[in-house]
Amino acid sequence: MAFDTIIRNATLPDGRKGQDVGVSGGRIVAIGARLDAEAGETIEAQGHLLAPPFVDCHFHMDATLSLGQPRLNVSGTLLEGIALWGELKPHLTHEAVAERALRYCDLAVSQGLLAVRSHVDVCDDRLLAVEALLEVKKRVKPYLDLQLVAFPQDGYLRSPTAARNLERALDLGVDVVGGIPHFERTMADGAAAVTALCEIAAARGLMVDLHCDESDDPLSRHVETLAAEAHRLGLGSRATGSHLTSMHSMDNYYVSKLLPLIAESGINAIANPLINLTLQGRHDTYPRRRGMTRVAELRAHGVPVALGQDCVMDPWYGLGQADMLDVAHMAVHGAPMTSREAIRWTFDAVTEVPARILGLEGYGVRVGAHADLVLLQAADPIEAVRLRATRLLVMRRGRVVARTPARETALTLAGRPSRLDPSSYAPG
């Protein structure tokens, strides 16, 4: 047998060591210890972790890399970020949105991030960002899967043209129905928006992913409505609640009723630790609340939970580098969840779980899947999270699309020269 490419001596996310992976025609065609085969190209993995690509299930690509335009967010709150984005919106151009998005996709590929679900604001009658990102989606298709969510940033009911624009965006080819019920004028309007958006998703056979209860208000109840509507309409795993930060502040008794309702509905939950640990709790003095939803409790109830990045250098967040291991690392601290099992799970929460939420076809390190792979300078997934490991090589459909040199430091200490490889500190 002859392969296009063979990757030798890799460790797989499930713990199997010394594995060779054969690639032909853009697919994984064989996995096993010491495959006896010829190949056009041989890549030596040297025992490093070979993983499927990272998946970001919650992002805002129309706003990314716009930090400082037209000014910085002084209060650090979600609401000032929304206001600031509103100031920038009239000045956006198709070319500028596409250029920032394409630059971001380059960064994403370098980090082994090959699939992104991005919300795109439809509260602009020109639908300029929608058209720009639909063009970007086509252009990046050879190297990155971009799934778009029609997101009425200024409120589906609160903004006078949002409902019409959302339908127009879906007609143009935007994939998923979005919403922001906690930004509507009243709790009742928020609930009505959730119902209307879930009905649109059901009628069109689409997925729905709502920004839900992204506040510190312990009485915000939109995830309850989302779970109920998903149940009523049979949406199940086609529905997702993003952020869910109010759950952090909710009364424990109420949450004990809410969690089984979410689990029963079959919806997914997405936490965005980088953003919500910095946006939430801004009206507190001390103690100051963290802004993460109840990740451990959602998991314990069997709810599929993924971790998203949300923002990189935009009106809401001034840092970020398209690194989903940053997201996993921050989730460990923010939750906090420090057991080996939980840290290992955060790796799945930026790979396998969001791949299922997006409905990606042919995902994973298995025979028959797309040859979309990331070689990490780490011995296993926990070490990848600990080190936010270097992506030594990124492959898309069997073709190497990015390489980064291994991290290694030359030390000269007390006349004793040595070389330090960060991944040599793993526990045995």
Q: Please report the sign of the dihedral spanned by the C-alpha atoms of residue 273, residue 277, residue 283, residue 288.
A: positive
Calpha distance 44→5 (Å, rounded): 11
Write the CA distances from 67 to 64, 222, 294, 317, 318, integer angstroms. 8, 30, 30, 8, 6
Structure tokens at 120: 């795109």
**Nearest CB to Fe ion, comparing residues 11 and 66:** 66
Closest CA to 192 of 208, 201, 179: 179
To the nearest whole angstrom, how small is the minimum distance from the Cβ of residue 317 to Fe ion? 10
Structure tokens at 202: 């059901």
Residue of 184, 214, 229, 352 marked catalytic: 214
**Nearest CB to Fe ion, comparing residues 64 and 377:** 64
Structure tokens at 114: 């090959």
**Nearest CB to Fe ion, comparing residues 310 and 314:** 310
Calpha distance 364→428 (Å, rounded): 26
Write the CA distances from 44 to 88, 113, 161, 357, 393, integer angstroms. 48, 22, 55, 32, 11
To the nearest whole angstrom, how small is the minimum distance from the Cβ of residue 60 to Fe ion? 6
**Identity of the amino acid at 288:** R
Calpha distance 403→405 (Å, rounded): 7
**Identity of the amino acid at 199:** E
To the nearest whole angstrom, how small is the minimum distance from the Cβ of residue 310 to Fe ion? 5
To the nearest whole angstrom, how small is the minimum distance from the Cβ of residue 181 to Fe ion? 13
**Nearest CB to Fe ion, comparing residues 56 and 380:** 56
Task: Kindly report the backbone phi and psi dihedral angles of residue 240, in degrees, each rounded to the nearest multiple of 5, phi listed first.
Answer: -140, 140
**Nearest CB to Fe ion, comparing residues 19 and 220:** 220
- Looking at the chain, the number of H-run helices and the number of E-run strands are 14, 18
**Nearest CB to Fe ion, comparing residues 20 and 184:** 184
Is residue 122 within 8 A of residue 169, CB to CB? The reply is yes
**Nearest CB to Fe ion, comparing residues 229 and 310:** 310
To the nearest whole angstrom, how small is the minimum distance from the Cβ of residue 276 to Fe ion? 9
To the nearest whole angstrom, how small is the minimum distance from the Cβ of residue 119 to Fe ion? 6
**Identity of the amino acid at 92:** L
Residue nearest to Fe ion (CB): 310
Residues that bind Fe ion (CB under 5 A): 310
Q: Which residue has the tokens 């495959």?
A: 35
To the nearest whole angstrom, how small is the minimum distance from the Cβ of residue 316 to Fe ion? 8
**Nearest CB to Fe ion, comparing residues 241 and 422:** 241
DSSP string, 222-237: HHHHHHHHHHHHT-GG
229 is catalytic: no
Characterise 78 by phi-psi region: left (phi > 0), alpha (psi -120 to 50), beta (else).
alpha
To the nearest whole angstrom, how small is the minimum distance from the Cβ of residue 329 to Fe ion? 20
Calpha distance 257→84 (Å, rounded): 37
At CA 197, angle to CA 194 and CA 198, rounded to 5? 80
Closest CA to 134 of 114, 155, 149: 149
Cα 343 from chain centre: 17
User: Which residues form the catalytic set?
Assistant: 214
